[in-house]
Structure 1
């Protein structure tokens, strides 16, 4: 079983600092509106809970820090 580490701190009302083993992120917003997350790896996510079983999420990554992927695959 792998061990994980994740911790979230409320630094201001509506602002959280999230820390895990490899990176950190800052989340702004609350339960009644959109949340925006800015990560140390350059990822930016906007999410919002909608009524019922619905939700919205959009993620973008800065191109300057985007990791390249190999097109040669193992047939997976």
Structure 2
């Protein structure tokens, strides 16, 4: 079984920095509304909790100058 590393630090109310082994991400927004996550690897995610067992999530990747996805 592999070991994992993940740390979440609250910077200000509504802003959180998540650190793991490969990247750093910032989450803006709190409970009860939409949240936006910006990752150091180019991924941007919008998510929101909806009533009941439902949720909404949409991800997009940053595109490089030549139209290719950066990795």
Answer yes or no: same fold by TM over 0.5.
Answer: yes
Cα distance, 1:4 vs structure 2: 0.2
Is the contact made by 2:28 and 2:37 (CA closer than 8 Å) also made in structure 1? yes
Q: Which residue of 2 aligns with 1:23?
A: 23
The answer to whether structure 1 residue 66 and structure 2 residue 54 are counterparts is no
Q: Which residue of 2 aligns with 1:72?
A: none
Query: How many pairs align?
Result: 68
Is the contact made by 2:62 and 2:70 (CA closer than 8 Å) also made in structure 1? no
Normalised to the residue count of structure 2, the TM-score between the two structures is 0.90
Normalised to the residue count of structure 1, the TM-score between the two structures is 0.85
Distance 1:59 1:27 in 2: 13
Q: Which runs of 4+ in 1 moved over 6 A?
A: none
Distance 1:27 1:37 in 2: 4
Q: Which has the larger radius of gyration?
A: 1
Offset from partner CA, 1:15-46 (integer Å, 9 cap, x none): 00000000000000011100000000010000
